[in-house]
Copies of this chain bind each other. A is one copy, B any other.
Amino acid sequence: MAEKITPRAENFSEWYQDVVLQAKLADYSPVKGCMVIRPNGYALWENIQKELDQRIKKTGAKNAYFPLLIPESFLKKEAQHVEGFAPQCAVVTYAGGKELEEKYVVRPTSETIINSMFAKWIQSYRDLPLLINQWCNVMRWEMKTKLFLRTTEFLWQEGHTCHTSLEEAENKTRQMLEVYKNFAEEILAMPVWMGLKSESEKFAGALRTYSIESMMQDKKALQAGTSHNLASNFAKAFDTMFLDQDGKQKHVYQTSWGVSTRLIGGLIMTHSDDKGFVAPPRLAETHIVIVPILAQAQMKDKILEKATELSKTILERNEIKSLPYNIKINIDADETKQPGWKFHEYELLGVPIRLELGPKDLEKNQVVLARRDLDKKEFISLDILPQTIANHLVSMQKDLFEKAKKFRDQNTFQTYSYTEFKQTIETKGGFCLTAWCKDPVCENKIKEETKATIRVLPLDSIFQEIPEKEKCIVCQTKKPAIRVLVARSY
């Protein structure tokens, strides 16, 4: 028997855990803070990798692989970097039966080890830009962990690029942010805000950090990807230099950018419901499940035969073939389980489309079709089934995005007074679009008094003056203010 899923309205955090565990997306491991990504969850990661890897390669980056271990001394070469990451590092002190002379940290991120190689590989401006990406595991020793969202070890991609000018590095930083935005919206159906992080929230060692921020169904924000302009901070620490066209040796300008298995957590908290996981069709491992109704013994063979034929016909049709991903169909002919049990099971697993096929349907040349995100069943004539399925897959992807976007927009508020702002955060939750004077004192006050943080300075308003009458939400003085998006977050 399936276990009960805690409804979202009752306890969102327990609902999340129930979905992850019962849909077998991930599990707790015996290693503190580390998760096991089970096949159902890993299939999502494989699809994320496939889609995102293509997009990254289109920008000219190539994949490579750098060591897991980083000499402790490397981390210390960039002052801000070591301050930010050292407290979270796991350290190898002993190897091959001996105490090590130099300790190694398990990479929390790879700017330092990669720069040690870049310094060796780059000679002149002809070697630039150098665009590298790495898919790997990283480790950050977290105190409070949550499956997918914050784990001691996680999987990610980290891009690292070198350029001849700060401007080119800035352009690359923004380009990759756009890649993440498009990927999140098109493939994960997860609408995001793009923006700049405040100084206090930027990556340890960066000049500037940009991020994409998404709203979960509990109205909290999730930072879903980051892109950093590193200027020459790491290049100076590692002497990563190039001979410029003017004959002078100069430090390269760099960027780094990454998204991780955290995206799977975001995906779940954006689309799933009280029945379980909901997979956007573009990420689903299995798109269609056919449940043959086998109660009548004399009809069994005929129904199974028809199910197989249907599956074949669907896959052969051009409407299906022309979708931008390969469709997988599962026929569940297990007779030890009842159809009702199966309906619940595939809802829990998030399969986008369920087809039921019984003796009556066979007679009427139809199937019963249920779409995971809609609360109804339709009878569909087999003549129009492939086209209907293709239409549903396309519109389900679109509808999930639209629904999430509408939810986000309905829960994004413009606030002008601190009282109104605090009240909004406390009672309504969601995102507040407001004004801030750039003073860390005001930023801290927000954090301490509301537990909300400045998520980003929205990209489209970074360089826009905001109306003069609108003052910093906290201090309300005449200091020029900028637009900020504030929310409680994961």
Contacts and interface: CB of A to CB of B under 8 A. Distances in A.
Interface stretch (A3-11, A31-39, A359-367): A31-39
A203 B45 CA distance: 31
Nearest to A91: B94
Interface string A85-126: 011111111111100000010100000010011001100001
Contacts of A88: 96
A67 interface: yes
A65 interface: yes
Contacts of A336: 126
Interface string A133-153: 000110101110000000001
Given A30-B116, A71-B31, A113-B31, A64 B36 contact: yes
B97 A87 contact: yes
A68 B153 contact: yes
Given A65-B155, A66-B29, A36 B91 contact: no
A65 B91 contact: no
Given A96-B141, A96-B143, A106 B37 contact: no
Given A39-B64, A65-B42, A95 B31 contact: no
A322 to B, nearest CB: 17
Given A113-B31, A117-B29, A136-B137, A64 B38 contact: yes
Interface residues on A, range: 35 or more
A142 B97 CA distance: 11
Given A30-B71, A36-B67, A117-B29, A93 B93 contact: yes
Nearest to A131: B39
B63 A43 contact: yes
Contacts of A96: 87-90, 141-143
Contacts of A95: 89-91, 141
A472 to B, nearest CB: 36
Contact of A67 (B29, B104, B113): B29
A422 to B, nearest CB: 34
Contact of A94 (B35, B42, B93, B136): B93
Given A34-B69, A36-B66, A42-B62, 18 more contacts: A29-B67, A31-B67, A31-B71, A34-B68, A35-B67, A36-B117, A37-B65, A39-B132, A42-B64, A42-B65, A67-B153, A68-B139, A86-B97, A89-B96, A90-B104, A93-B94, A96-B141, A106-B106
Interface of A: 27, 29-31, 34-39, 42-43, 45-46, 62-71, 74, 86-97, 104, 106, 113, 116-117, 120-121, 126, 132, 136-137, 139, 141-143, 153, 155, 336
A-B pairs with the 4 shortest C-beta distances?
A96-B141, A39-B62, A34-B67, A90-B95
